[in-house]
Chains A and B, each alone.
Chain A
Amino acid sequence: MVQYMSARLDASFAALSDATRRGVLEQLGRADASITDLAETFQMTLTGMKKHVSVLEQAGLVTTEKVGRVRTCKLGPRRLQEETAWIERYRQLWDARFDELDKVVEELKRKEKVDGRKNRE
């Protein structure tokens, strides 16, 4: 599970490391668009835009659907904002810290109990 999560995060970070792909996410945040639309907006070839969309799709950030001859792109089920990946990374840091803090608090509680017993004796 942890490995799966971190693989997903790696893919998200990788997908977000490119300015064009971040632009595509912003664009799709406003409205769904076809690959042709996106290629025009970002002044790229269809092949180039297909590659970018494919990276975003593999990271779960974008889904595509082909209707007739047009492939429409929309934000993926995760609907990650650009910053969500680093917020998750930041959360993991605090979570790791707080797991250690849990141990310190447990130890303090245990000591208090022992001291309390001693004081009553």
Chain B
Amino acid sequence: MAARTESEVAPIKNRTTVERKSERELVVTRTFNGPARLVFEAWTKPELFRQWWVPKSMGMSLLSCEMDVRVGGRYRLEFAHGDSQAAFFGTYKEVTPHSRLVWTNEESDEGSVTTVTFAEQGGKTLLVLHELYPSKEALDAAGTGAADAMGETFEQLDELLVTLGASAGRS
């Protein structure tokens, strides 16, 4: 009941879509209920960026977040996941206030180039995030990486499903 009350009060949630445009490209789109300059600000000020980039459901925490948002400037994000740590870093290639950001992901040779555009209309902002990977394999690896943490669970479930399937087949 509590959840229902909350959802009635909250503004209508905009839908996030993800599309694989080609073998090497992923596109994420989402509308935000605010002007482009504020959405852009939330992407370019580290103290704001760190408030949303690592949601609790990721099971990770952000240890540090450095962003030098200008052409040729660098960023570095450090995460903790259980006992392990990971760092993501790269360089800003384009910075056009309130409308466009381009950066590289340099933590591996197979890193993507990310382009984010902000288009304002009627006080709302349509955000399009485009990721271009150097190869199909690199995109596949990045995608399955997102599901890797759950791999073991899936294998166990897999065995269970085979067992269930076998008993269903007998009946």
Measured CB to CB, the residues of A under 8 A from B are: 10-11, 13-15, 17-18, 47, 50-52, 54-55, 58-59, 83, 85-106, 108-109, 112
Query: Can you report 19 A-B residue pairs in the complex whose CB atoms are below 8 A from each other?
Result: A10-B153, A13-B150, A13-B154, A15-B161, A17-B154, A52-B165, A54-B165, A55-B161, A55-B165, A59-B161, A91-B17, A91-B18, A98-B14, A98-B16, A102-B32, A105-B32, A108-B34, A109-B34, A109-B38
Contact for B143 among A51, A59, A87, CB less than 8 A:
A87
User: Across the interface, do A105 and B39 meet the contact criterion of CB distance under 8 Å?
Assistant: yes
A97 near B53: Cβ-Cβ < 8 Å? yes
Would A108 and B162 count as touching, CB distance under 8 A?
Answer: no
Q: Chain B 146-168 against A: per-residue CB contact (8 Å), 1 yes, 0 no?
A: 11001001110110011011101
Nearest A residue to B54, CB-CB: A97
Q: What residues of A have a CB within 8 angstroms of the CB of B14 in the complex?
A: 98, 102
Beta-carbon contact of B52 and A104 below 8 Å:
yes
Interface: B81 (CB within 8 A): no
Across the interface, do B153 and A104 meet the contact criterion of CB distance under 8 Å? no
Binding site for A on B (CB under 8 A): 13-14, 16-18, 20, 26, 28, 30, 32-34, 38-39, 41-42, 48, 51-55, 57-58, 129, 140, 143-144, 146-147, 150, 153-155, 157-158, 161-162, 164-166, 168-169
B158–A102 CB distance below 8 A: no
Residues of A within 8 A of B143 (CB): 83, 86-87, 90
Q: Which B residue's beta carbon lies closest to that of A87?
A: B18
Q: Which of B38, B55, B147, B165 contacts A108 (CB 8 A)?
A: B38
Q: Is there contact, CB below 8 Å, between A51 and B42?
A: no
